[in-house]
Amino acid sequence: MEYMTLKEASRIWKISPRMINYYCSAGRIPGAEKMGTVWLIPKNATKPLDGRRKSAGQSGGEHHD
């Protein structure tokens, strides 16, 4: 299997290496492996959804009568 580094994934997914490190630590990137102090991410991995944001289909708490 081919792997990419946090920096490579950051450039491809357009998010910070710190956020990718968080996703790896939380187990949100399947197949990511830690070798010493470096995370290796499968090249075919997809960017995890940002759980901090609600999708368009979820109610924002507004109530309409």
Side-chain-side CA neighbours of 61 within 13 Å: the count stands at: 1
What are 4-22's pLDDT values in tens digits?
Answer: 999 999 999 999 999 999 9
Q: What is the pLDDT of residue 55?
A: 61
Q: 21-35 as b/e, with b when 16 or more CB fall inside 10 Å?
A: bebbeeeebeebeee
Q: How far is Cα of residue 11 from the mean position of the Cα atoms in its chain?
A: 12
pTM for the model: 0.72
Tokens 């924002």 sit on residue:
60
What are 35-63's pLDDT values in tens digits?
Answer: 999 999 999 999 988 777 666 655 555 55
Give the pair of three-digit tokens for residue 2. Answer: 């081919």
Q: What is the pLDDT of residue 23?
A: 94
Q: What is the pLDDT of residue 13?
A: 94
